[in-house]
């Protein structure tokens, strides 16, 4: 143990640390006034005092010698600062939020304005495009019209229209002129007789006016005998025949001339149309510089030089050469090439040309087939149109014949009715139907009930009452009509027998 104690090193005895072991305060930076006072010290850096670790008492003494700030004052200032800091921070936050809201509102407004401007710009662009298109269309139409002005037809118009026009003008002038001999309508026999007897009637009644004399002559004409009337009637008939013949001739001439005029008009119109179409085709050929290419048509093959340029183009473009430079370089290289070097490209070009010729032959054959098919279709359509036209013509002729027949039948019926009325007044009349019998009876009753009733309302009331009748009530009127019909049939039989007997007796006489 003694040896260990002897070996241990004996260090300095530890001393107690003093309470006032405080570090020295740093020197303050000199103010502007001090800098002015001490110019020598400003140039030199302020030396920091190095306190030795061995003299702690000196350190404490220096620290004590410096004035200490009061602790109460420091605490109060820190409290005030701590209160002001949160209030100012909250105010700043609120201000920042308000500014953010304002910025957002401004941003929304600007976005809306930008959208509106974009829409306006798009609308204006569309309007400009439409205007450009309209302008192009108008220019095209203008060019067409200008070319149409150059169209000068070589057609001689017919003189028939002028002739007809002159004829109508002459007629009008003749009507205006007095004393010109015109074909007037023949005056009837009564007017001819009046002309002969007018002076006598005027002498008998010199104070009478035109109306009174005409009344007197009319009363006398009623008492004139048939024999006295006969010469006037014959004169009227003769004049009428002449007048009708003249009018018929004039009508026929005018119709013939109109037909001829229509034919000439059609011919001239067709000639004009043909000339116009020919002119239009030529104008279109001039305007169309580039014809519409057929996509099925085989493309023309490339030459040997173009095949060589296609091989070299990619390499030259990779070297960032211009298109013009590429064309110039390839042209020079092709000129400098030997025939052996050009050989493969020329062989390729020959093969492509042979292939192209084969494809063109097939394409031409296909086109010829299509043309023949189109011609056949057009011919078939023409046949169908002709067939339809002939059918329409036949229908028109049939309708015209039917109309003529119906008119003739109507005229015959009218004539027969007139003859029947004139021929025999003793022929029995057809009896009335059940409705007419009822209407006679109902009309009497309604007129008694309503004396000032209108005829149309009366007929309507009768038809309403007829509809309201029962089967038993209608049966009575039907029975009456049937009885009347039976009686009419018997009378007709008797009448026909008597008429046949009279006809048999006439040839015997």
Distances (CA, A) of 87 to 77, 80, 90, 98: 16, 11, 5, 17
The yes-or-no answer to whether 183-287 and 432-493 have a common fold is yes
Prediction pTM value:
0.28
How does 218-257 read in b/e, with b if 16+ C-beta sit within 10 Å? Answer: eeeeeeeeeeeeeebeeebeebeeeeeeeeeeeeeeeeee
Q: Which tens digit of pLDDT belongs to each residue from 65-90? A: 444 444 444 555 555 555 556 678 88
Closest CA to 462 of 481, 485, 445: 445
Q: Which tens digit of pLDDT belongs to each residue from 213-266? A: 888 888 888 888 888 888 888 888 888 888 888 888 888 777 777 777 777 788
Q: Which tens digit of pLDDT belongs to each residue from 107-151? A: 999 999 998 888 888 888 888 888 888 888 888 888 777 776 777
In CATH, the architecture of 432-493 is: Orthogonal Bundle (1.10)
Q: Is the distance from CB of 275 to CB of 148 less than 8 angstroms? A: no
Residues 6+ apart with CB under 8 A from 287: 143
pLDDT at 69: 46
Q: Where are the beta strands (DSSP E) in 21-133?
A: none
Q: Which tens digit of pLDDT belongs to each residue from 260-306? A: 777 778 888 888 888 888 877 777 776 654 455 677 788 888 888 88
Dihedral angle computed from the Cα positions of residues 224, 225, 228 and 233, in that order, rounded to the nearest 10 degrees: 90
Q: Domain-by-domain residue ranges, the chain?
A: 85-150, 183-287, 304-406, 432-493
Q: Which tens digit of pLDDT belongs to each residue from 337-380? A: 888 888 888 899 888 889 899 988 988 898 888 889 988 888 88
Degrees, nearest 5: CA angle 494-500-506: 135
Q: Is the distance from CB of 204 to CB of 219 less than 8 angstroms? A: no
Rounded to the nearest integer, the mean pLDDT of the chain is 75
φ and ψ at residue 74, rounded to 5 degrees: -65, -40
Mean pLDDT to the nearest integer, 203-212:
84
Q: Selecting from 1.10.30.10, 3.30.365.10, 1.10.287.70, 1.10.10.10, what CATH number does the domain 183-287 have?
A: 1.10.30.10
pLDDT at 98: 92
The gap from C-alpha 333 to its chain's centroid, in whole angstroms, comes to: 62
Percent of the chain clearing pLDDT 90 (strictly above): 4
More confident residue, 233 or 456: 233
**DSSP code for 470:** -
Q: How sure is the predictor about 169, in pLDDT bands with cuts at 50, 70 and 90?
A: low
Residue 309: other Cβ atoms inside 10 A: 20
Is the per-residue pLDDT at 103 higher than 90? yes
pLDDT at 74: 53
The position carrying tokens 């019998």 is 437
The position carrying tokens 């040839």 is 507
Residue 477: other Cβ atoms inside 10 A: 19
Q: How sure is the predictor about 321, in pLDDT bands with cuts at 50, 70 and 90?
A: confident
Is the per-residue pLDDT at 424 higher than 80? no
The position carrying tokens 């390499």 is 315
Residue 193: other Cβ atoms inside 10 A: 20
């Amino acid at each position: 143990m003694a040896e260990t104690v002897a070996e241990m090193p004996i260090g300095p005895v530890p001393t107690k640390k003093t309470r006032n072991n405080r570090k020295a305060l740093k020197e303050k930076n000199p103010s502007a006034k001090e800098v002015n006072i001490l110019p020598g010290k400003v140039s030199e850096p302020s030396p920091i005092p190095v306190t030795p670790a061995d003299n702690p008492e000196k350190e404490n003494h220096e620290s004590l010698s410096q004035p200490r700030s009061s602790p109460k004052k420091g605490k109060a200032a820190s409290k005030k600062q701590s209160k002001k800091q949160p209030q100012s921070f909250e105010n700043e936050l609120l201000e920042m939020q308000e500014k953010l809201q304002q910025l957002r509102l401004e941003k929304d407004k600007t976005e809306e304005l930008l959208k509106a401007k974009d829409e306006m710009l798009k609308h204006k662009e569309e309007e400009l495009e439409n205007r450009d298109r309209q302008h192009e269309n108008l220019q095209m139409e203008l060019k067409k019209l200008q070319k149409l002005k150059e169209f000068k037809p070589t057609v001689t118009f017919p003189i028939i229209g002028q002739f007809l026009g002159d004829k109508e003008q002459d007629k009008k002038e003749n009507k205006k002129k007095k004393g010109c001999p015109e074909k007037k309508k023949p005056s009837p026999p009564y007017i001819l007789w009046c002309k002969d007897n007018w002076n006598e009637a005027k002498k008998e009644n010199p104070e009478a006016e035109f109306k009174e004399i005409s009344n007197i002559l009319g009363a006398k004409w009623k008492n004139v005998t048939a024999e006295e009337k006969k010469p006037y009637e014959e004169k009227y008939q003769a004049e009428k025949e002449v007048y009708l013949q003249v009018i018929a001739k004039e009508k026929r001439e005018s119709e013939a001339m109109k037909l001829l005029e229509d034919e000439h008009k059609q011919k001239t119109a067709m000639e004009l149309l043909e000339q116009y179409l020919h002119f239009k085709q030529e104008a279109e050929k001039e305007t169309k510089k580039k014809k519409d290419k057929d996509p099925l048509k085989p493309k023309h093959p490339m030459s040997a030089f173009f095949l060589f340029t296609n091989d070299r183009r990619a390499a030259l473009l990779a070297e960032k050469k211009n298109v013009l430079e590429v064309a110039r370089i390839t042209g020079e290289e092709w000129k400098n090439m030997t025939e052996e070097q050009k050989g493969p490209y020329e062989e390729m070009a020959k093969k492509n040309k042979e292939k192209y010729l084969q494809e063109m032959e097939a394409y031409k054959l296909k086109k010829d087939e299509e043309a023949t098919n189109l011609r056949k279709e057009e011919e078939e359509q023409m046949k169908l149109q002709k067939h339809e036209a002939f059918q329409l013509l036949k229908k028109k002729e049939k309708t015209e014949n039917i109309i003529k027949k119906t008119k003739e039948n109507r005229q015959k019926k009218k004539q027969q009715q007139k003859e029947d009325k004139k021929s025999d007044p003793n022929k029995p009349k057809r009896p009335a139907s059940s409705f007419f019998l009822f209407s006679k009876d109902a009309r009497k009753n309604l007129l008694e009930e309503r004396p000032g009733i209108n005829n149309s309302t009366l007929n309507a009331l009768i038809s309403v009452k007829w509809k309201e009748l029962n089967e038993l009530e209608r049966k009575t009127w039907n029975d009456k009509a049937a009885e009347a019909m039976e009686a009419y049939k018997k009378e007709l039989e008797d009448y026909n027998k008597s008429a046949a007997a009279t006809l048999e007796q006439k040839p015997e006489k």
